[in-house]
A and B are shown apart, each in its own frame.
Chain A
Amino acid sequence: MIKCSRIVAVVSLLAAMSIAAFTSAQAADVPAGAQLAAKQVLVKNNSAEPGTLDPQKVEGVPASNISLDLFVGLTLEAPDGSIVPGVAKSWTISKNHFVYTFHLRKDARWSNGKPVTAEDFVYGMRRGVDPKLASAYAYFLYPIKNAKAINDGKLPLKDLAVKALDAHTLQITLKEPAPYFLQIVSQPATFPAYKPSIEKWGNKFTQPGHLVSNGAYELKSWVVNGHITLVKNPYYWGAKHVVIKEVKYLPIVDSNTSMQMVESGQSDWTYTIPSSQYKTLKAKYGSQIVTKPYLGLYYYDLNMQKPPFKGSLALRKALSLAVDRVALTKYVLGQGQIPAYNFVPKGTAGINFIQYGWSDWSNSKRIAEAQKLYKEAGYSKANPLKITILYNTNADHKKIALALASMWKQALGVQVSLENEEWKVFLRDRQEGNFVVARDGWIGDYDYATTFTDLFRCGVAQNNSHYCNAKYDALVEKAANSDSEAQRVKFYTEAERMAMNDYPIIPIFQYVALHFRSKNLRGYVGNPLDHNHSADWYFVKN
């Protein structure tokens, strides 16, 4: 058996072993001497109204942000994203990495004072895979043995390999070693669920007065499209380290309104920054504008099922080479995005960071190579390639499409037309393969290679370019079934290199998280998934 302390040491950075880690709770790490403000009410602009507050059904960032304040899973994320104990104070992992045994803390309480038990986790995870609940995030639990079969309606709920050995011991058996599993159990789909409330209120159990949570906060009020207010949960085991007493989430969709609200002092945090105002705001507010790279890739799908890209590696490579990513990120976007010459973003765990060999070539050398390949593919100035870039209607996507069209035209003479579509029409066309080149993007679900390498497996729902290479699939499979981390890293890196060399997509840039924080708000560290807990923050005096 491998002791959890060793795993924690591997997964988390030593630098993160602050109060949060020692107390294993969401808690503000207030430095000695810091003078706290008298009023500790945090107002966060959260972009959109959450679809649901049911942790097992939570999808989308706005709902996830609130859920991470309301609930705590078996593990939790420290401010820097490293994994620390949550409701589970310790755990052991079997030698073959299949069986996880979690030992729950005895002082974990629901917001009504009742103890949080292993049965609450069993009930929560069973709900998550119940086909009747129809959670879009059920697949998050698929690493657990039988989870997929249950969700497919082929096995009964009781067959889920999550067992309460006693009130404070939980055992989970996986279908394959999943090194990222400790991250999975820090996320909403795996949170415990309070059965009496769900059985009493049914679909209305998430409403104020009904929702029972086990995190640093509990739900106080909810005005749809108005605000969601959370207050400190007195029964939370780390309550004495939670400084922010009240958190108000505002579903402000318009990023300009959101910015105006922080500028006029009505809120303390924005979901994002209007891209057109970034430079002005950065000059005006300096470090209050927070920019952090995170695990997300913006890319273009090349349709591998249809000409001109089907069977033409030279053409796909030529187009990727001809994109000047530095100019795009620096001059067109200019918000700190990182040029991407890779499929798996820099900083992702479980894989070595690799880039195309030509990433450090000069512009002229890249273009010369692109022109050679373009000619090899049978195109020339007299016989130019004619393609359409498909994107959903949005000013930023348009800017990027225009920039790429112009780069391809200048470097190769490609005739590019742009086609924008309404969101749902675009999604349908992209998923059904009705495109030549389409905008795409992916934010990692967790910090591990598979959240990106899975995108390129044959027949996977998110594989929009319809790339399919049996050798790639075999490598990813081999990595998943390896019993050492070194082997996994080796195979995932090899797999990424293989997919990159097939050029099914054009990686463009790695996303950055952009936020505005009010002057006296402290505690934000930033992490690769941009998950932030209000309990880690605090206000200092002016």
Chain B
Amino acid sequence: MLSYTIRRILGAIPTLFVLVTLCFFMIRLAPGGPFEGERNLPPQIKANLLEKYHMDQPLYKQYFSYLDDLLHGDLGPSFKYQDWTVNQLIAKGFPVSLKIGLWAMFWALLLGLALGSIAALRQNSWLDYAVMGLSMSGVSIPNFVTAPLMVLVFALMLHWLPAGGWGHGGLYNILLPVIALALPQIAIIARIMRGSMIEVLSSNYIRTARAKGLRTSTIVLRHALRPALMPVVSYLGPAMAAVLTGSVVIEQIFGLPGVGTIFVQSATNRDYTTVLGLVILVGVLVVAFNLIVDILYAVLDPKIRY
């Protein structure tokens, strides 16, 4: 297992290298640059800016200089947030996205797995239809609709929770964003869990267990749950990376200082270094979560060994 993990980590290096290279050149292909705005800059002022950020040099030189800095752990200065480096921006923004994302995924897993399992156990009953109906709504109603609705009810009508803002990042401020972020995940996980649980429950070894007279709870918790979790675990790898690196929509709606907000603003402002830094962060997380998922497979399924 250890050698497998090391091999996977080493294998991620060329993946990340290709990612950085592609992204470095692709973002330069986008029209416009970081210093263009409603106010057109006089040519000399623009030249001063390009020189300051070494953007007056040939692109290949900029690329190698970026790689050199990257190897030293320096993601460069931000063009948009001029007083901060990309390292600082990530260090400040990522914990915010992480906090909201982890809470959302915690609730999504807890409720999604429970609801999915209940629906599977009561297949074709009113309970199943109710859970699946809600789940379908959760999947199909985007969170840019549910979030403002929740704000309307809980902030503007009932005055229980704030309409937005981070404050000190306490429960009071994060509750609505966490719910808005968790709802579609609960729905997706419940649907995956229901499908896979139904499949597992109809397999031969479960029938054998039932024939032996085991209680339903024992069958579900000891024999069915682990194999039924496999598809959910597969889904969790990319989902965790996506949720943890910030939900662009949720962060914008609630005005939260996470990396999702920075990502959008950097892309629209052609803040090359910040976009690259965040792409690297997402890349590292995707690789890491896929690795964790693969390791979890081995834990959950005795047939899988590396």
Contact = CB atoms under 8 A, between A and B. Distances in A.
Interface of A: 48-49, 51-54, 57, 59-60, 131-136, 138-139, 148, 151-153, 203-204, 206-207, 223-227, 250-254, 256-258, 260-261, 263-266, 422-425, 427-428, 431, 441, 461-462, 464
Contacts of A427: 32, 36-38
B45 A261 contact: no
B255 A424 contact: no
Contact of A266 (B43, B92, B93, B164): B164
B79 to A, nearest CB: 9
Interface residues of B, number: 54
Contacts of B88: 224
B148 interface: yes
A397 to B, nearest CB: 12
B24 interface: no
A180 B170 CA distance: 48
B112 to A, nearest CB: 28
B83 A52 contact: yes
A427 B39 CA distance: 9
B164 A257 contact: yes
B268 A136 contact: no
B73 interface: no
Contacts of B265: 48-49, 253
Given A151-B48, A253-B252, A423-B268, A203 B83 contact: yes
Interface string B146-165: 00100110011001001111
Given A260-B164, A428-B31, A431-B40, A134 B51 contact: yes
Q: Is the interface of A mostly helix, strand, loop or mixed?
A: loop
A453 B214 CA distance: 88
Contacts of B36: 424, 427-428, 431
B144 to A, nearest CB: 10
B201 to A, nearest CB: 45
A138 B254 CA distance: 36
A480 to B, nearest CB: 17
B165 A261 contact: yes
B285 interface: no
14 contacts: A48-B265, A54-B83, A59-B39, A204-B83, A206-B83, A223-B257, A224-B81, A225-B255, A253-B265, A258-B255, A260-B148, A425-B32, A427-B38, A462-B40
Query: Considering residues B40, B48, B93, B148, which has the most beta carbons from chain A within 10 angstroms of its beta carbon?
Result: B48
Nearest to B85: A203
Contact of B45 (A134, A251, A252): A134
Contact of B32 (A54, A59, A227, A424): A424
Contacts of B42: 139, 461
Contact of B40 (A254, A264, A461): A461
Most chain A CB within 10 A, of B30, B82, B270, is at B82
Given A260-B164, A266-B163, A132 B52 contact: yes
B80 interface: yes
B63 interface: no
B175 interface: no
A138 B261 CA distance: 29
B84 interface: yes
A41 to B, nearest CB: 13
B84 A226 contact: no
Contact of B82 (A52, A131, A226): A52
A152 B164 contact: no
B92 A224 contact: yes
Given A131-B48, A134-B49, A139-B42, A266 B162 contact: yes
A426 to B, nearest CB: 9
Contacts of A203: 77, 82-83
A51 B265 CA distance: 11
B202 interface: no
A207 B40 contact: no
B32 A138 contact: no
Given A260-B164, A264-B159, A424-B32, A53 B83 contact: yes
B275 interface: no
Contacts of B299: none
B12 to A, nearest CB: 29
Interface in B249-276: 252-258, 261-262, 265, 268-270
Contacts of A57: 82
A428 B84 CA distance: 27
B262 A225 contact: yes
A257 B83 contact: no
A66 B217 CA distance: 61
A131 B159 CA distance: 52
B108 to A, nearest CB: 24
B45 A256 contact: no
A260 B163 contact: yes
Contacts of B148: 256, 260
Given A54-B82, A225-B262, A428-B31, A261 B163 contact: yes
Nearest to A130: B48
A492 to B, nearest CB: 21
B44 interface: yes
A462 B81 CA distance: 24
B60 to A, nearest CB: 23
Those 9 A-B pairs whose CB atoms lie nearest each other, nearest first:
A424-B32, A226-B257, A225-B257, A260-B163, A461-B40, A134-B48, A134-B52, A52-B82, A252-B255
A203 B37 CA distance: 23
Interface in B11-60: 30-33, 35-45, 48-49, 51-52
A264 B252 contact: no
B200 interface: no
A274 to B, nearest CB: 12
Contacts of A227: 165-166
A193 B96 CA distance: 33
Nearest to A463: B40
Interface string B270-304: 10000000000000000000000000000000000
B87 to A, nearest CB: 12
Contact of B268 (A224, A424, A441): A424
A269 to B, nearest CB: 14
Nearest to B164: A257
B241 interface: no
Contacts of B268: 422-424
B89 interface: yes
A462 B45 CA distance: 14
A264 B162 contact: yes
